[in-house]
Amino acid sequence: MKRTLLIIFVTLFGLSLFAQQTETLSIQGDHGKLSCYLQTPKIEKGKKVDAVLLLHGFGSSKNDGLMTMIAQKLADRGIASIRFDFNGHGESEGEFQQMTVLNELEDAKCVYEYIRALPYVKNISVCGHSQGGVVTGLLAGELGKKALKKAVLMAPAAVLREDAIRGNTFGKMYDPINPPEYIELWGGQKLGRNYILTARNLPIYERSCTYTGKVSVIHGTGDVVVPFSYGEHYAHDFKHAELHLLDGFDHGFSQDAEQATNLAVDFLAN
């Protein structure tokens, strides 16, 4: 009897090694090491699965509720994901003041190269929220549909370019022609001069919309941080895009984050 129970225990333990798991990783990025979570579904020996790169927004982290929920729902559908803190965010190295959209793009490319080399990964897609949505579009445009199967942009913050041109970022006013060394945001965070100068000249739509793969744009009509017209602009310019406007939803989809999440996951999984 004891021997039988032992065999059952060992068998179950062996099966659990191939079940869903989340691994903490450190990957070299553009401004230092990036703290990452690699979440994988149960993978049968010799099989391959699709994977999704998840990109958080400005001032957020890989622990963002939206990205975490998407990662779990993807794993439930048999899809791996990797989410990480951009430089100067969360547990990654680098200073927030040195962060720009373009060095976040470089971070994303570094993480993409890591996941592309995993032996069990088949197709790769990308999904980003807010500024992460802008980086998602730029990454898709640069790598193309042979490298990225699909792209999801959630409340993509293309407004950041116009903010820099106007000299008004999150209500902080400055001279857009000659911005200061930094502007101080909430919690003492300092947004650097180079972020503003880079954003002001960033060809967001022009670069992003060279991507010819399938795109889903998800935006709330109640978004006062990034008006939904920016999501409409993306959806119009991409060659193969679907647009989901969620009535009255804010920038973080707080009215029903699961509804927004399900739209993203269903698109990525089908």
Q: Does the pLDDT value for residue 226 go beyond 70? A: yes
State the pLDDT at residue 20: 84
For residue 16, what pLDDT is reported?
39
- Average the pLDDT over 216-244 and give the result: 98
The pLDDT, as a whole number, for residue 1 is 46
Short-list 235, 231, 256, CA closest to 129: 231
CATH architecture under which domain 21-269 falls: 3-Layer(aba) Sandwich (3.40)
Q: Give exposure, 199-226, as e/b (b: 16+ Cβ within 10 Å).
A: bbebebbebbbebebbbbbbbbebbeeb
Write down the pLDDT at residue 142.
98
Helix (H) or strand (E) holding 107: helix 101-116
Checking if the pLDDT of 92 tops 50, the result is yes
What token pair was written down for 202?
């960033």
Q: What is the CA 245 to chain-centroid distance, rounded? A: 19
Window from 2-16, 102-116, 157-171, 249-263 with minimum mean pLDDT: 2-16
pTM: 0.92
Residue 256 reports pLDDT greater than 60 = yes
What is the per-residue pLDDT for 5? 40
What band does 19 get if pLDDT is binned at 50, 70 and 90?
Answer: confident
Residue 17 pLDDT class (50, 70, 90 cuts): very low
Q: pLDDT band at residue 4, thresholds of 50, 70 and 90?
A: very low
Return the amino acid letter for 85. Answer: D
pLDDT at position 6 over 60: no
What pLDDT does residue 3 have? 44
CA–CA distances in Å: residue 121 to residues 49, 80, 185: 5, 8, 39
Task: Give the whole-angstrom CA distance, residue 176 versus residue 240.
Answer: 35
pLDDT tens column, 119-162: 999 999 999 999 999 999 999 999 999 999 999 999 999 999 99
Per-residue confidence at 111, pLDDT binned at 50, 70, 90? very high
Residue 113 has a pLDDT of: 98
Q: What is the mean pLDDT of the chain?
A: 93
152-186 pLDDT, tens per residue? 999 999 999 999 999 999 999 999 999 999 999 98
- Give the pLDDT band of residue 8 (cuts 50, 70, 90): very low
C-alpha to C-alpha distance for 105 and 126, rounded to whole angstroms: 12
Contact between residue 243 and residue 175 where contact means Cβ atoms under 8 Å apart: no
Domain map (residue ranges) of the chain? 21-269
Poorest-pLDDT segment among 9-18, 41-50, 216-225, 228-237: 9-18
Instruction: List the Cα angle 157/244/111 in 5-degree steps.
Output: 50
CA 5 vs CA 8, 10, 11, 151, 212: distances in Å: 5, 9, 10, 48, 55
Provide the pLDDT for residue 152. 98
Cβ contacts of residue 248 below 8 Å, gap of 6+?
220, 221, 222, 255
d(CA 268, CA 270): 6
Return all residues near 79 (Cβ < 8 A) that are at least 6 apart.
41, 49, 50, 51, 52, 268, 269
Cα torsion 218, 223, 229, 234: sign: negative
